[in-house]
Structure 1
């Protein structure tokens, strides 16, 4: 999968821009922010759209174990609880070819990754699925967690988000895959 190089302003959603600044502010002298320093209370009002994953395995094929999914993410995947499962077990097969490589890239490079996919709800309405992946580390160097922010936007207004990830009849259309380059802290 090819990733363009993007500036932080490529991110469209206001909440995701805030999270990108939050990530940058927590980097300090480290290439990757330490997750121990994150004040969870500051994220609580955004938690419905968030997931936290633990990176397991090494090398080119890490796996991502779900530690937390917010209510909007659970609704999109049609399950109240995926904790303990790996992302490749939960993500529908149609979505994996363009859905999993951004996670691997974020874990390998230690930089934010932003993607936009076009999907459809069960009534055929076009929905833009915007995802921001923010790597974190226990030691400030090696990525061992990924914070995910997901935004679903429909230009027609309301859409049916229930189980939207599993009602796809065709692979999502990848509109953008960008590695976000941040200025030094």
Structure 2
């Protein structure tokens, strides 16, 4: 699967923009940033929307063992994630959609940003924005995956419980790009156009 590359200004959530910048700052002149140097922004409450996974080789595939899971992500998943492999927690359709994103993130050693149109259990439209960030123990091997979730609805309030668990065997429609630090900032890009409010109400 081929992915287009984009400047990080394409990311819409203010918090995810900050995460992408933190990742780049931590990386410095290395291939990858060290996972031990990453700390979620406590003031912004970032940890509630993050999942940290250890990449575990298993024969001819990679599995993702959840080491930490934020409270809001577990509510949205409707299942406990910590100490479980993600492929055990997702239905076949969702898994088929996200596995290429995980693999692309790790193989390119670059963040991947995705947008998935969805709905809550009451049919209220919800947009799911996810940022996948590769980390390392040695600056070279992508052996950790950090996932950030930003969920919002144009209608304001929505039900967070289970919003990540679409009951389908078919991969949901989604859009994804590689965030490449080498890409130039688009001339027409403005922060006002790229940012969305992070203070939407979730119930």
Give the corresponding residue for 1:179: 178
| TM-score w.r.t. length of structure 2 | 0.82
Structure-to-structure mapping, 1:11-160, within 5 angstroms: 11-38=11-38, 40=39, 42-43=41-42, 45-57=45-57, 61-79=61-79, 81-160=80-159
SS at match of 1:143: coil
Distance 1:60 1:12, change over 3 A: farther
- Residue 171 (structure 1) shift: 4.2
CA contact (8 A) 1:114 1:130 kept: yes
Shift of 1:166: 2.5
The answer to whether the 8 A contact 2:110-2:179 is kept is yes
**Count of residues paired in the alignment:** 181
TM-score, normalized by length of structure 1? 0.90
Runs of 4+ in structure 1 displaced over 3 angstroms? Answer: 41-44, 167-171
Mapped to 2, the partners of 1:155 and 1:100 lie a distance apart of 28
State the distance in 2 between where 1:21 and 1:106 align: 16
More strand per residue? 1
How much does 1:153 deviate?
1.3
Contact 1:115–1:131 (8 Å) recurs in 2: yes
Aligned CA distance change for structure 1 residues 67 and 4 (closer, same or farther; 3 Å): same
**Local SS of the residue matching 2:114:** strand
Conservation of the 8 A alpha-carbon contact between 1:120 and 1:168? no
Q: 1:98 to 1:74 in 2, by over 3 A?
A: same
Helix, strand or coil for the counterpart of 2:118? strand
Match for residue 161 of structure 1? 160
* Conserved? CA contact 2:41–2:47, under 8 Å: no
Could you tell me how far 1:37 is from its partner in structure 2?
Answer: 2.0
